[in-house]
Structure 1
Amino acid sequence: MGGKYRITGDKYPRMRRPRRRGKLILAATASVVALGLAGWGTLQLIDVFTGGDRTATAADHKTDCASAKPSAPALALPKPAKITVNVYNATPRSGLAKKAADELKKRGFTIGEVGNASAAYDKKVAGTGVLLGAPSATKGSFPVLGAQLQGAVAKTDARKTADVDLILGTQFKAFSTPRSAAAALAALSDPSPAPSC
């Protein structure tokens, strides 16, 4: 073949378009930026979920645990033997006060009077029971006796003695089990768990 298509010297016909390096550089730069942003975002997420305080040392953690104080002070609760309980029946069931008094005596309480409730409470206690005592009983006798009977309502009166009345209501079935009562008393004695250090 001749003419203008004839190959002469070191010139060859181009079979493809010339490369444009600008697009290649732009694509590489965009890839590096995208990877950088993804890595930075991952570090931010890790920082958020791990707390982000990398400057705290083990000594700081021990100091925080040592200075931690319980949220509520522990109550100095009296022993059941120190509490005199008067048991009154405000239900139509006969013999309930005696049975309840016997159970409380087995659990270590000192039993005072046992009988029917006064006219102010007789057949008028809808719940499990009412704890009635002096205002000082709210931080001593009431929590200990209340641990034996879930749902009992505490009320104070003007008495000067330390005894507590337990007035059994119509919903009374039985006292709490000794194990659950002991757990409730333990929670009252030490309301906040020790910090886990």
Structure 2
Amino acid sequence: MGGKYRITGNKYPKMRRPRRRGRLVGLTVASVVVLGVGGWGTLQLIDVFTGGGRKASAAGDGECGVKTKASPSPSAKPLPEPRTITVNVLNATTRGGLAKKTADELKKRGFKIGDVGNATKQYDKKVKGTGLLLGPATALDTTLPVLGTQLPGAERRTEAAREGAAVDLVIGDGFKALATQQDADRALTKLARPEPAPTTKKGC
């Protein structure tokens, strides 16, 4: 160039290359990722040392309304063993031989057998279900549940004026057979050792 704007000397000004936007964007994204990972790691450390407000258990995750650890069941009255229970087997149906057959089977399973025969007029031909279990008031949560494991679905009743500890098994029209020995034993074991009830978190 000549004239007024002539450049002299052997050094020329260096022209800078325009910065690449791609590189700036990449650096920005990388910085955000690093910050995010660092923040997540910090939260994890805080959660480890503080417990994070949640304590896991074998029965649940500890959140509101969800099962947590199971609480032991309250102490219950010990159930009587079959050998201590006297059962009167009475037939309220029109089918013959049911009382003796049922009584023999209960005897094999360890129950004591009392009277065997037809049901009284009060219940004869009036029991529509599988059967009716009768006993004194004290038998409601002791003897009757144990006898009930032998005949699932049978109705249970207590008689306040009843004397003695013996209970009645009145065979109804819907009776087919006692529960199998295996099913009855399983039900008896579950009755004697009920599973503890789960508890839930309070104050939520």
TM-score (norm 1): 0.71
Q: 1:147 aligns with which of 127, 146, 149?
A: 149
Q: 1:123 aligns with which of 115, 122, 125?
A: 125
Between the aligned partners of 2:171 and 2:109, the Cα distance in structure 1 is: 17
**What is the 5 A alignment of 1:19-168?**
27-39=29-41, 51=55, 70-157=72-159, 158-168=161-171
Q: RMSD of the alignment, in Å?
A: 3.7
Match of 1:179 in 2: 182
Q: Cα distance, 1:191 vs. partner?
A: 2.3
- Could you say what secondary structure the match of 2:189 adopts? helix
Paired residues, number: 177
Q: Is 1:75–1:188's contact at 8 Å kept on the other side of the alignment? A: no
Alpha-carbon displacement from aligned partner over 1:92-121 (angstroms, at most 9, x marks no partner)? 322111111111111122211122222332
Q: Cα distance, 1:148 vs. partner?
A: 1.1
Q: Cα distance, 1:172 vs. partner?
A: 1.6
- Could you say what secondary structure the match of 1:76 adopts? coil
Q: Is 1:74–1:191's contact at 8 Å kept on the other side of the alignment? A: no
Between the aligned partners of 1:114 and 1:180, the Cα distance in structure 2 is: 24
Between the aligned partners of 1:27 and 1:147, the Cα distance in structure 2 is: 70
Could you tell which deviates more after superposition, 3-12 or 85-94? 3-12
Could you tell which deviates more after superposition, 30-39 or 141-150? 30-39
Amino acid at match of 1:78: P
Could you tell which deviates more after superposition, 37-46 or 120-129? 37-46
Could you tell which deviates more after superposition, 152-161 or 43-52? 43-52
Alpha-carbon displacement from aligned partner over 1:69-90 (angstroms, at most 9, x marks no partner)? 7313244222323221111112
Match of 1:17 in 2: 18
Q: Cα distance, 1:134 vs. partner?
A: 0.4
Q: Cα distance, 1:189 vs. partner?
A: 2.4
Structure 2 unmatched runs, 5+? 58-69, 197-204
Q: Cα distance, 1:190 vs. partner?
A: 2.6
Between the aligned partners of 1:113 and 1:190, the Cα distance in structure 2 is: 31
Q: Is 1:133–1:162's contact at 8 Å kept on the other side of the alignment? A: yes
Between the aligned partners of 2:6 and 2:37, the Cα distance in structure 1 is: 49
Q: Identity of paired residues, percent?
A: 48
Specify whether residues 100 and 45 from structure 1 end up closer, same or farther in structure 2 by C-alpha distance, changes over 3 A only. farther
